[in-house]
Structure 1
Amino acid sequence: MAKPKPLMANSSGTDDADTAVQSALRTLDAEGSGIAAIAAALQGPLGSAFTAAVDLIREAKGRVIVTGLGKSGHVARKIAATFASTGTPAFFVHSAEASHGDLGMITADDVIVALSWSGEQPEMKNLITYAKRFRIALIAMTAESESTLSKAADVALTLPKAREACPHNLAPTTSSLMLLALGDALAIALLEGRGFTSVDFSVLHPGGKLGALLKYTRDLMHAGDAVPLRPLGTRMSDALVEMSSKGFGCVGIVDAHGHVVGIVTDGDLRRHMRPDLMTALVDDVMTKNPKTIGRDLLASEALEILNSSKITALIVTDARKPVGILHLHDLLRAGVA
C-alpha cells in the first residue's frame, strides 16, 4: 500500500484571513463615512429639518407610524421598536401591506415616518395619498430631495449621498446604516427632550437583562432579621457569630440611635488578626462610615458601586438606619451581574 504523501505547508489560509479582514475594514470605512456625512449634514440644512421632525413627533396626539419596504422596511421595524422603548409610542406598518387594509391602523392623530432611499417605491404611493387625504403628518427619510416621497412630505430628512460598502455599489449597506442612525438620533432627541429617565425606561423594560438592571435595591435586598447587625461595644466573638449565622461575610455596626456607623468584614478580620481578636471590641476593628445605599437605588447603580469599591455587600439604609442588605450574589441571581 502506498504511503500517503505528507501535507505541504502553505499560506493560503493566512492569505484568505488577511483578505477577509481587509474586506471588513473597507466595509467599516465606507459605512463610517456615511455616518460622518450625516453628522456634517446636520450642521447645515438637515439640522433644521431634523428639528422640525422632532417637534412634529413631540406635538402629535397619536403614535409614530414607521414604514418602509425591503431593507428600509427592516430598518423601519427597528426604529419603531426604539421609539416605543424610549417613550415615543410607535409601531411598524409595511408599505405594501398598507394598501391591503393596514392603512386602517393609521389615524389622523398619528405621524408617519416613511423610509425610502430612492423615495420612488411605487408601493408607497397609496400610503402617501392616504396621508394627504386625511391630513396625516408625513416625515420622509430619503436621499433624494426631488423624489415623490420627499415632495409629498411635511418634513423631508434628506440624507447625503454615500457609496454602498458593496463593491458594486448595489447592496444596501451604507444607506441602511445611515437610515438606522438617523432614526436612532430622532428617538434619542425625543427621549432627552421629554426628560425620559432610567425609571421611565424600567417601566417599559421589565424583562430580560435590561429588566434586571432596572430593578430597585428594595426588590433584591434582604430585610428584617436577615440583616447582620450589632451595636457598638460588642465583642468580636459575638460579632463573628452574627456574621457567620447570616452568611453575608460582614456585620453592620450601629450606634445608640440605630444609625450605621461601621461594618466588620472578612477583610477587617484578616487585617486585625491577633491572639486577642475575639475579645476586642468591634469599635476597634470595624471600618468606619461604610458605603451604604438607599432602597430606591437601581440595581445597575448598586452593581457599579460594588464593582468600583471592590466589595461584595452593601447595607441598605433609610435616614442612616439599616433596612436591608444587598449582596453581589443577589445581583447574580437576578441576572444583573
Structure 2
Amino acid sequence: MEYRQLAHSDLEVSHICLGTMTWGEQNTEAEAFEQLDYALDRGINFIDTAEMYPVAPRDETQGATESIIGNWLARRGGREDIVLASKVTGRSQMHWIRGGPRLTRQQIVEACEDSLQRLQTDYLDLYQVHWPDRATNFFGKLGYQHREEEDVAEISETLGTLAELVEAGKVRYIGISNETPWGLAEYLRLAEIHGWPRVVSIQNPYNLLNRSYEIGLSEFSYREGVGLLAYSPLAFGVLSGKYLDGQRPEGARITLFERFSRYNGEIAEAATRAYVELAQAHRLDPAQMALAFVNSRGFVASNIIGATTMEQLKRNIDSHKLSLDAKVLKGIEAIHQRYPNPCP
C-alpha cells in the first residue's frame, strides 16, 4: 500500500481510504468489523466517517456508523495506528440533528463532542466540514445564482471554532468537503489573516463521470498543498456496470434508495457503457479500472472506497496494484471528450 503525507500536517494516509457510510444501514456491525480488520491487514490506515452516517440519513440510525467504529476501537485498541476522520454536518433539513444542523460555534462544538463520545476516542486526526452553510454549488448543483442570505454561519465563525478545537487537542487537523474554489480560497485567506489552522484536505466527488474537480480545484491541490480525498470514485457503484440496462441488483444502494439518482441519466448510462466496454476490451475489471484512474491522479491524496460485501471490498482495495497503460488512458480520455462530466 502506498502512503501519502497530507501537506501542512504530519498525517501519512494510505492511498486507499476506507469509507463507512453503509455501516448501520446496509451493513451490520459484525460486517463492519470484518471490513475494518481486513482493511488494516491490507495496509489501510485511513478511516473516514461522519456524524450523519449511515446513508440514507434518517433519525433512527443517525450516528450509528460512528458508534460501530467506536465499538471496534474499544475491542481492538490501537487507536494510534489509524488516521480517523469525521465530519460535522452542514446546513440542511435534517431536523433530528440539533434541530437542524448549522456551522455555528455552538453546533460545531456540540457535534465534535458527540462524535468523540460515539467513536470512544479523545481526538480526531481530521475533522471536516461536510458541506457549506451558504447556498452554493455542491452535490452536483449547476447554474450558480448568487443571492444575499440572512442567518448564514460565516466561514470565519466556522474556521475560528475549528481552530479552538485544534487548540484544545480534540482535533489535530481540519479539512473541508463539497467545497467550491471560492470557498477553499476563503478558508486559506482567513487562516493566513488570523493565524488559524490551514485546511489540509478537501473531500469532493471525483470519478470518470464527474471530473469537475480538475477545472478549478486541482490547481489548489498542487499550489496550496490541499490534497483531494476523492469520494464516490465509482459513482455510487454505477461505474462497475452493475446498473446497466435497468439492472437493479438486490441490496445495492440505488436499488434500495431511489434518491441516489445523480448518475442515472441517459448520457451517464451511455458514458458508463463506454467505460465498461473499454475495460472489458483490455481484460480489466470495470470497477478496478475506474478506481485505478482516480488513484493515478497526482492531486488525489487518498481514494475513499466503500463496499457492502467483502468481495467488493477486496476488489476495490486491490485497485491500488493496477497501473493503467497508455492505451487505456488514451481510451478514457477519448470517452471523456465524448461525454464530458455527464454527472457533475
Higher Cα radius of gyration: 1
Higher relative contact order (CA 8 A, sep 6+): 2
TM exceeding 0.5: no
Structure 1 length-normalised TM: 0.24
TM-score computed with the length of structure 2 as normaliser? 0.24
Q: Give the structure with the larger helix fraction.
A: 1
